[in-house]
DNA sequence: GCGTCTATATCGAAG
DNA sequence: CTTCGATGTAGACGC
């Protein structure tokens, strides 16, 4: 017995039975389910939280993602990541949604006090994001054109694992000194300087003189001071916004 | 002329005119608007991205938050943060949503090729999340009971600003040595050790011997090695999951 | 699986 | 406003 394959289904002010029906259908159809509901939320896992009753938007994705959004902020107030298992039960005439993550063990429970809208969407999507301006692209730019850093710079290795961490770019300058580059796609802060220092210190245990260069569009005031105190250097570089080869799944003949 | 104040409104497979109507109503009503739509997305700002046509869920919050979710992953594929200004226009019979952030200048554009569902929700919510198990609670625990760290430890200051950064907890041990605590609510990594090292180094410029203790439930293998190499210490401590005083806005008589 | 690191990170607190 | 550090960070990539 197959469930009707509808692209979209929705119901305003549904009864408990209708919520159960649409929820079940959405889950078995691998649809994205959204609810507008008055609800309270409980979470226990890496931390623990309680959220008293209020109106929220709930989204359940076919990959197990579970999101609860309040009317403000970019981030969900509570959530469960992909791979979580969602289920529901009825207690005293109210629906309780439950999402469980196995490792680490985390449980999210939503008590639906009133559902204003339930809907699902059988989304088809074969496209992936093409993002330009990442740190990876800064690295590509430097590897293709090392003199951007300084005349005579030669890049020897990318993502070189060392004793305590992984160096973004490892190379030598015109005088043969070892050079460590730490790249940041945005304004670099104290954290970035400490990271560079850690790499430089690790290499200094083996080589004599090691230069450390922080490559970023700019520095915070504190980063600039610390960099100077530690004898490290700064090279201004903006991340390039270049088109990349398409990575997303393409609709091919095989899929039809 | 006032717009009818409905808590929820929705329309499946709406016409362009109906999308415009519900969108306008939702925006002026300070509602959360969601769309199920086949769309393509363009973003330019701190980075730049393109996303070819596919089915997504779009959410627009009254605070300006703009989210575009694909059917997988916990995070939105594109977004705009709170404070952004949303608008729309019609081009060749298609609706184009546009969200602009002023600083940094960022633009998000969504071309709606087909809308399967549009809905809005006049959400009322006066509750804030009560989260237990944060780093702040570890700090409270230590300040209330310093011997948790070791016999004779005395905490002198919390969040002490120093030359390069801010120390979580600053104190002295039974022998009068300066002690720096760096707290982590989860397994501590290389970054945490580098951070502690930065604070210890800064204090060493003024005081003679300074002890650094990383306080966390556990350490990564690399963090343990680096900690030992740097002569720093580890104290195992789990973040407590304690109830906190309510912080959320409460419905009070004044509001009625 | 763990370890390491990036992110259009977002968010909040403090100066 | 900027700086700084936490986050139930999530996600990716390597081993």
Same domain, B104 and B193: no
Q: To probe the interface with A, which of B9, B27, B32 has the most A CB atoms within 10 Å? A: B32
- State the pLDDT at residue B157: 97
Q: Which of residues A121, A153, A173 is at a domain's end?
A: A121
pLDDT band of residue B206 (cuts 50, 70, 90) is confident
pLDDT digits (tens, 9 = 90+) for B89-122: 999 999 999 999 999 999 999 999 999 999 999 9
In a domain, A178, yes or no: yes
Please indicate whether, in this complex, the C-beta atoms of B52 and A248 are within 8 angstroms of each other: yes
Q: pLDDT digit string (tens) for A62-93?
A: 999 999 999 999 999 999 999 999 999 999 99
Name residue, tokens 């973003």.
B43
Average pLDDT, chain A: 94
Nearest to A132 among B49, B130, B248 (CB): B49
Output the pLDDT for position B237.
Answer: 98
Q: Could you identify the residue whose CA is nearest to the C1' atom of nucleotide C7? A: A134
The pLDDT > 70 percentage for chain B reads 94
Range of the domain at B185: 135-236
Report the alpha-carbon distance of residue A79 to residue B221 in Å, rounded.
Answer: 29
Residue A62 lies inside a defined structural domain of this protein: yes
**What are the helix (H) ranges across chain A?**
16-28, 135-144, 190-204, 221-229
Q: Are residues B116 and B145 in the same domain?
A: no
Which residues, in sequence order, are bridge partners of residue B234? B214
Q: Beta carbon of B47 within 7 Å of strand C? A: yes
Can you tell me which residue has its alpha carbon closest to the C1' of nucleotide C5?
A166
Q: How far is A138 from chain B (nearest CA, A)?
A: 12
Assess whether B117 and B143 both reside in one domain.
Answer: no
> What local confidence, expressed as pLDDT, does residue A251 receive?
38
Are A161 and A191 within one domain? Answer: yes
Q: Using the CB atom, is residue A105 less than 7 Å from strand C?
A: no
What is the per-residue pLDDT across B37-94, written as a single tens digit (0 to 9) for each? 999 999 999 999 999 999 999 999 999 999 999 999 999 999 999 999 999 999 999 9
- Whether residue B113 is found in the same domain as residue B171: no
Tell me how far apart the alpha carbons of residues B98 and B83 are, in angstroms, rounded to a whole number. Answer: 13
Residues facing A130 on adjacent strands: B50
Q: Of A121, A146, A168, which residue is a domain's last?
A: A121
Contacts B34 to A, Cβ<8 Å = 34, 57
* Residue B53, domain member (yes or no): yes
What is the token pair recorded at B120?
A: 């809005």
User: Is B75 domain-assigned?
Assistant: yes
Supply B118's token pair: 């549009």
* B130 and B123 Cβ atoms separated by less than 8 Å: no
Bridge partners (DSSP) of residue A160 are: A167
At A4, the pLDDT band (50, 70, 90 cuts) reads low
**pLDDT higher than 80, residue B163:** yes
For position A182, what pLDDT does the model report?
98
Same-domain check for residues A165 and A189? yes
Question: Same domain, yes or no, for B104 and B149?
Answer: no
A108 beta carbon < 7 A from strand D?
yes
pLDDT at A1 over 90: no
CA–CA separation, B210 and B194 (whole Å): 15
Q: Are A111 and A149 contained in the same domain?
A: no
Q: In terms of domains, do B15 and B116 share one?
A: yes
pLDDT of A121 reads 98
* pLDDT score, position B4: 61
Q: Is B49 part of a structural domain of the chain?
A: yes
Chain segment B123-147, per-residue pLDDT in tens? 999 999 999 999 999 999 999 999 9
Flag whether B256 is in a domain. no
A113 with A185, same domain: the answer is no
Q: List CB contacts of B142: < 8 A, sequence separation 6 or more.
A: B148, B149, B155, B169, B181, B183, B215, B237
- The answer to whether residues A55 and A149 belong to one domain is no
Tokens coding B226: 């680096």
Query: Tell me, what's the pLDDT at A242?
Result: 87
Within a domain: A39: yes
Total domain count, chain B? 2
pLDDT in tens, A21-43: 999 999 999 999 999 999 999 99
Measured from the CB, is A199 under 7 Å from any atom of strand D? no
Which among A91, A121, A151 is the end of a domain? A121
Using the 8-state DSSP alphabet, how is residue B111 labeled?
E
Nearest to B234 by CA among B256, B212, B252, B253: B212
Provide the CATH number for the domain around residue B207.
Answer: 3.40.1350.10
Comparing CB atoms, the residue among B78, B124, B194 nearest residue A55 is B124
Q: What is the CATH number of the domain that holds B104?
A: 2.70.180.20
Looking at residue A237, its pLDDT comes to: 98
Residue reference for tokens 């006049």: B122
Structure tokens that stand for B146 in this block? 């310093």
Establish if A249 belongs to a structural domain.
Answer: no
Judgement on whether residues A91 and A173 belong to the same structural domain of the protein: no
The percent of residues in chain A predicted with pLDDT above 90, rounded, is 91
pLDDT at A220 over 80: yes
């Amino acid at each position: 017995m197959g469930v009707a394959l509808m692209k979209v289904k929705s119901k305003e002010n549904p009864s408990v039975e209708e919520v159960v029906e649409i929820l079940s259908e959405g889950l078995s159809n691998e649809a994205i389910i959204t609810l507008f509901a008055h609800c309270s939320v409980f979470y226990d896992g890496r931390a623990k939280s309680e959220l008293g009753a209020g109106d929220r938007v709930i989204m359940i994705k076919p990959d197990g993602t579970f999101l609860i959004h309040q009317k403000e902020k970019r981030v969900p107030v509570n959530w469960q990541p992909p791979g979580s298992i969602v289920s529901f039960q009825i207690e005293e005439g109210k629906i309780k949604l439950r999402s469980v993550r196995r490792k680490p063990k985390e449980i999210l429970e939503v008590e639906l006090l009133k559902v204003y809208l339930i809907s699902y969407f059988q989304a088809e999507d074969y496209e992936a994001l093409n993002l330009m301006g990442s740190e990876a692209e800064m690295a590509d730019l430097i590897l293709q054109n090392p003199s951007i850093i300084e005349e005579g710079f030669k890049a020897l290795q990318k993502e070189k694992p060392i004793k305590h961490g992984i160096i973004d770019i490892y190379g030598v300058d015109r005088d043969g000194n070892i050079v460590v580059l730490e790249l940041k796609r945005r304004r670099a802060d104290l954290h970035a300087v400490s990271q560079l220092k850690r790499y430089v210190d690790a290499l200094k245990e083996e080589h004599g003189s090691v230069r450390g260069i922080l490559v970023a569009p700019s520095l915070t005031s504190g980063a600039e001071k610390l960099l100077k105190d530690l004898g490290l250097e700064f090279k201004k570089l903006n991340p390039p916004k270049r088109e990349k080869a398409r990575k997303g799944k393409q609709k091919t003949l095989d899929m039809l």
